[in-house]
Structure 1
Amino acid sequence: MGRKKTPRWLEAARLRKGPVSPGGRADWLARALGRAGVMPRTEAERAIREGRVEVGGQVEREPFAPVQPGVEVRVDGRLCELEAPLLVLMFHKPAGVIVAGKDPEGVGTVFERLRAVLPAELQGFEWYAIGRLDRDTTGLLLFTNDERVVQHGTSPETHLPKRYVAEVAGRPSEEALARLREGLVLEDGPTRPAGARLLGPEQVELVLTEGRHHQVKRMLAAVGHPVRALHRVAVGSLVLDVPVGAWRRLSASEVSVGLGFNDVRA
């Protein structure tokens, strides 16, 4: 059995020397460069190992080296600003691509599709998907340069509603919809009550406040109506409003009100 890979945050924590100063935010070097839009994290790791990055006037070859707020960082001699803006993007995911770093089937990933349409000024950021959609599921997918937004958007404690429209086999009865609203018992335990209504003869709208693996598909299958096609139309109060394969940046108000994320960086 292979040795488990150490999580990135743990590697960075082991290299940190001393406590973080009050009000400060220590970060690891490669991630800080990606969050600030200097270069994506994989490129940053390569640049650091090649000796092209200086921290506080010294060459730093460890991607997980801690970097404190206010320290001077240079890449190829150029001074870099690490005060990162908090960015959240709305993207309309097409069918066929996966939410992963690589696609073993060779069809493509959402990260590749997103980068293909981003302008030059956003290419240097490391983008994180806020949650996942299955390969064949389309619709609203959010991206951010800040992992705190990912944690907020995917945490079970947040109860962020996500609205889906499913094309199903057969016409669900009111009894089936009532079971969805009350919550079902799946193989991994009971679900929270869901919003459920019939939009058409074989079309159901489902609103969930949790995000288990294949949950929409499993819930609808459990009431006798397997999903034929699935589309996510909203997250929080954010409603998808861009064409397939397109994106737009969310405003600060949309992030705070639409997603309920109000944390600010120290």
Structure 2
Amino acid sequence: MENPTTPSRERLNRFLARTGIGSRRTCDRLIQSGEVYVNDRPADHPGMRIDPERDRVTYGGRVVRPPDVCTYILMNKPRGFVVTVDDPQGRRTVMDLIDGVEARVYPVGRLDMDTGGLLILTDDGDLAHRLMHPRFGVEKTYLAEVRGRPTDGALDQLAKGVHLEDGPAAPARVRRRNPSAIEVTIHEGRNRQVRRMCEVVGHPVQTLERVAFGPLVGSGLDRGKWRHLESNEVKALKQAVDLGGGV
């Protein structure tokens, strides 16, 4: 009998999605229609667990396997957690929120301790490096609740690029969400950049959340929860940094 708690086991529908056959929902349909076999027997249900290293999975008469073993995770980071693998001060880190992951993943880029929202974790060093390298200009979008009501002039300043103590900020895309909330899209990754930009124009940030990272928009996750990225999401990230989109 399968032991669903065995760390090496994985849900069949997620395994198939990682091979690039289709989305998780598409893989569910293929399994339910009897087109997927595990060890030469029709798969029981989408949630059945397999050992990717030992079990033989076939679709359309061909063995299918993910083309690599990298792990890609999307988290809805809550405030109050440090974005690091290990904190010498003993504070809670985002790694405390992840369980059941055997791979040695690490966060891509930074989010301040008091900032929430989308965070990618992976063990794909090439992708992580490119996502944060200025040459690729991967955009990150933040929703900022600020003090006061920014004028159109203040938003224009942010859009054109303000001067920070470590040099001028590149122009940003800015959109008003309500009188005291703005959406800011930047492609740099400087420390506390959005907070410092808003401070310069006289509207300090009260709460800040990252709502998009490159092609990933929203997470569909509750605070503090995470999920593995679907194969199409990994492809989109790789295409954004000229890695060809293969998974």
- 2:95 corresponds to which of 101, 111, 115: 111
Are the counterparts in 2 of residues 128 and 150 from structure 1 also a CA contact under 8 Å? no
Q: In the alignment, is residue 250 of structure 1 matched against residue 234 of structure 2?
A: no
- Count residues in correspondence: 182
Q: CA deviation at 1:105?
A: 4.8
What is the aligned partner in structure 2 of residue 98 from structure 1? 82
Q: In the alignment, is residue 158 of structure 1 matched against residue 142 of structure 2?
A: no
What is the aligned partner in structure 2 of residue 209 from structure 1? 187
Larger relative contact order, structure 1 or 2 (CA cutoff 8 Å, min sep 6): 2
Change over 3 Å in CA distance of 1:201–1:264 after alignment to 2: closer
TM-score of the superposed pair, with normalisation by structure 1: 0.63
Q: CA deviation at 1:207?
A: 0.3
Amino acid at match of 2:169: T
Alignment of 1:29-108 (within 5 A): 84-108=68-92
CA–CA separation in structure 1 for the residues paired with 2:228 and 2:130: 18
What is the aligned partner in structure 2 of residue 78 from structure 1? none
Q: CA deviation at 1:146?
A: 1.2
CA–CA separation in structure 2 for the residues paired with 1:167 and 1:185: 21
- Deviation readout 1:12-36 (Å, 9 max, x if unpaired): xxxxxxxxxxxxxxxxxxxxxxxxx
Change over 3 Å in CA distance of 1:253–1:264 after alignment to 2: closer
Q: CA deviation at 1:198?
A: 1.2
Overall identity of the aligned pairs, in %:
39
Alignment of 1:183-262 (within 5 A): 183-240=161-218, 241-258=220-237, 260-261=240-241, 262=243
Amino acid at match of 1:112: D
CA–CA separation in structure 2 for the residues paired with 1:158 and 1:264: 15
Secondary structure of 2:97's counterpart equals: helix
Are the counterparts in 1 of residues 142 and 184 from structure 2 also a CA contact under 8 Å? yes
Change over 3 Å in CA distance of 1:228–1:85 after alignment to 2: same
Are the counterparts in 2 of residues 161 and 208 from structure 1 also a CA contact under 8 Å? yes
CA–CA separation in structure 2 for the residues paired with 1:264 and 1:238: 14
Amino acid at match of 1:175: G
Are the counterparts in 2 of residues 92 and 246 from structure 1 also a CA contact under 8 Å? yes
Secondary structure of 2:98's counterpart equals: helix
What is the aligned partner in structure 2 of residue 142 from structure 1? 120
CA–CA separation in structure 2 for the residues paired with 1:106 and 1:177: 39
Change over 3 Å in CA distance of 1:178–1:220 after alignment to 2: same
Change over 3 Å in CA distance of 1:258–1:264 after alignment to 2: closer
What is the aligned partner in structure 2 of residue 57 from structure 1? none
Q: CA deviation at 1:102?
A: 2.9
TM-score of the superposed pair, with normalisation by structure 2: 0.68
Q: CA deviation at 1:158?
A: 1.1
Structure 2 gap segments, 5+ residues each? 1-6, 9-66
Secondary structure of 2:175's counterpart equals: strand
CA–CA separation in structure 1 for the residues paired with 2:244 and 2:108: 16
Aligned structure 1 segments of 4 or more residues deviating by more than 4 angstroms: none
CA–CA separation in structure 1 for the residues paired with 2:95 and 2:244: 25
Are the counterparts in 1 of residues 76 and 224 from structure 2 also a CA contact under 8 Å? yes
Secondary structure of 2:196's counterpart equals: helix
After TM superposition, the structure 1 stretch with the greater mean CA deviation from structure 2, 106-115 or 166-175, is 106-115
CA–CA separation in structure 1 for the residues paired with 2:110 and 2:212: 13
Structure 1 gap segments, 5+ residues each? 1-36, 39-82
Are the counterparts in 2 of residues 95 and 135 from structure 1 also a CA contact under 8 Å? yes
